[in-house]
Amino acid sequence: MLRASRSGNHFSPLVVGAVVTLLFVAKTVRSDPSTARAVKVLVITTSDAEAKPYGDALGLTDSVPVPGLSEANPAVRCNADGVCLLTTGPGKANAAASVMAVIESEPFDLSHTYFLVAGLAAIDPGEGTVGSVTWAQNVVDSGIAWEIDARALPAGWSTGYLGILAKSPSDKPGSSFGTEFYPLVPSLVAKALALSESAALEDGPAASAYRAHYAASPATEPPKVITCDTTTSDTYWHGELLGQRAHDWVAAVTGGKGAYCTMQQTDNATIAALHRGADAGLLDAKRVLVLHAASRFDRQYPGQSAAESFAADAGGNAVALHNLAIAGVPVIAEIVANWDAWQTGVPE
């Protein structure tokens, strides 16, 4: 693997894993089965592929079955130091169902837990590149909308998507389901970025060759850890035109505060479930982090068609899976190592 040339520590996932594992092994195992397991960090992934590097790094050897989880991933996996991982399955239905099942299950005390929502995403080449790792500040649902086929647009419409009960794509939605927009806590996002931005991200020759097709930086440059906003839709869209729509949509939904950067299929549902838990007093929704690693671009490069771009292998899958843990694990390690401080809130 090529390694991005960056300043700061150059530790591989294995080294990080070893450090973190040592850290955890040194602590006492909570052994009273009658007590709910107090979780310091719950990592939430959607697939086994996303979960694996975390499982490897964190030594998640304790399996806790939870009723209501998916058939494929029926248990939450934990280590002895209160770090746990849930794999939900793909899409909003699976994400909301699994997260809600864990929130409402007996074995876990989530009252002080930090939630690390971690998954692969596609990235806007204007904001990042294949292998980039992103901390979201704003999480916006792009699927809850009206839509007509884009070949039937009236004059003045830029896209077939518009807000529900709106009059046109530039009009405000006339409704809210309550799950459309989740701004995360800026101080927590900033802390996570600070803890991870010097991590040495992986890169690879295939990703490097593929990104060279794009016209400009940051798409053409090696990956970095950045802050950028994410959109959620079960519909995994691709291409320049729906990319422009995502850009305009995020700007509208966030009142101009957010900037579209990545797209994925689950996060608004995951966070919606976490907010149900917060409303019920079971957890603190201010302790949510959303981390993505870009396995691909969300649109074509100059001269390529949208369909060609969609079908292409951007060489980013393995790189992104590694980087997802390379950036996330140091944050988990810090929370665990300084739990006395983090337990009461994000340290200054």
Partner 1 sequence: VSAARALIAGLAIVAASCGSDAAPAAGGSHTGAPRAVKVMIVNMAFLEGQGFVKELGLDEEIPVTGLGTAAPNVLCNADDVCELTTGMGYANAAASVTALIQRSGLDLSRTYVIIAGIAGVDPEQGTIGTAAWARYVVDFGFANEIDAREMPAAWPYGYFGIGAAAPSDPPANDYDAAVFQIDEALLQAAYALSKDVALGDSAAAAKFRANYASAPANEPPRVTQCDVVSSDTWFAGNALTVRAREWTKLLTNGKGVACMSAQEDNATLEVLKRGAAAGKVDLTRVLVLRTASDFAAPYGGQTDADGLVSSLAQGGIGPSTENLFAAASPVIRAIVTDWSAWRMGTVKP
- Restricting to residues 98-117, which ones interact with partner 1 according to CB under 8 A? 100-101, 103-105
Question: Does residue number 253 form part of the binding site for partner 1 (CB under 8 A)?
Answer: no
Residues in region 18-57 near partner 1 by CB under 8 A:
none
Phi, psi (rounded to 5 degrees) for 151: -80, -10
Cis peptide leading into 218, omega within 30 of 0?
yes
Q: Is residue 68 a contact residue for partner 1 (CB under 8 A)?
A: yes
State in angstroms the smallest separation of the CB of 24 from partner 1: 29
Pairing, β 75-78 against β 83-87: antiparallel
Contact flags string 164-183 toward partner 1, x per CB under 8 A: xx-xx----xxxxxxx----
Give the residue among 334, 330, 227, 337 at the shortest CA–CA distance from 12. 330
Pair 336, 83: CB distance under 8 Å:
yes
Tokens 């771009």 sit at which residue? 309
Establish if 184 lies at the interface with partner 1 (CB under 8 A).
no
Length of the chain: 348
Question: Which of 1, 236, 343, 347 contacts partner 1 by CB under 8 A?
Answer: 236
Structure tokens at 35: 């007590």
87 binding partner 1? (CB under 8 A)? no
How many angstroms separate the most distant Cα atoms in the chain? Answer: 67
Return the number of the residue (208 or 233) whose C-beta is nearest partner 1: 233
3 state DSSP class of 318: helix
With respect to partner 1, which residue has the nearer C-beta, 61 or 168?
168
Q: Is 249 a binder of partner 1 (CB under 8 A)?
A: no
Under the criterion CB under 8 A, does residue 63 sit at the interface with partner 1? Answer: no
Q: Does 149 bind partner 1 (CB under 8 A)?
A: yes
CB of 103 to partner 1, least distance (A): 7
Strand partners, 76: 64
91 touching partner 1, by CB under 8 A: yes
Query: Which of 34, 311, 340, 348 contacts partner 1 by CB under 8 A?
Result: 311
Tally of CB atoms within 10 A around 90: 16
Smallest CA-to-CA distance from 114 within 323, 290, 321 is with: 290
Kindly tell me which residue out of 46, 233, 262, 323 binds partner 1, with binding defined by CB under 8 A: 233
